[in-house]
Amino acid sequence: MTGERRLPLRLLSGRERGGATVELAIAVPLLLLLVFGVIQFALWAHAVHVADSVAAQALAAARVEGGSASAGQAQAVAVLDHIGRAVLVDPRVAVTRTSDAARVEVRGTAEAIIPGLRLPVRAQAEGPVERFRAPAMAPAGG
């Protein structure tokens, strides 16, 4: 022990006992909130992708030649039944079709694992209605 100093062991006084327990009681709920927040964000992102997919599929059914708004609505319900009702809560689908364009809007909320948190989900898709057009005839006698 030449030239080496040993630090004395510090005994915990009565005021410092339980400090680790208090720190743990504060840190664990914050850590759990962070973990649940990450999971909640992932569920919201998945719900947005589901809504986008529903809108795209419904638009494809509504805008084809011979398609209709009701065909788009039926396709939206089929896709929701297949992939989306667990993560997209209370989905509402609006399909409109005019002579020139079709439009689909999907609204709902993401499934919540944090009580009281309602994250809205909205997706829309629109495109021109497909129509058959006869090919233009070239002028004769060129």
- Do the beta carbons of residue 121 and residue 107 sit within 8 Å? yes
**Cα dist from 72 to 49, 62, 100, whole Å:** 18, 4, 15
- Give the orientation angle of helix 69-79 with respect to helix 19-63, to 10 degrees: 150
132 or 16, higher pLDDT: 132
Q: Could you report the per-residue pLDDT of 72-113, keeping only the tens digit for each? A: 999 999 999 999 788 999 999 999 999 999 999 999 999 999
134: exposed, middle or buried (Cβ count in 10 Å: 0-12, 13-18, 19+): exposed
pTM of the entire predicted model:
0.75
Amino acid present at 98:
T
Structural domains in the chain, CATH included, are 28-128 (3.30.1300)
Residues facing residue 104 across a β-bridge: 95, 125
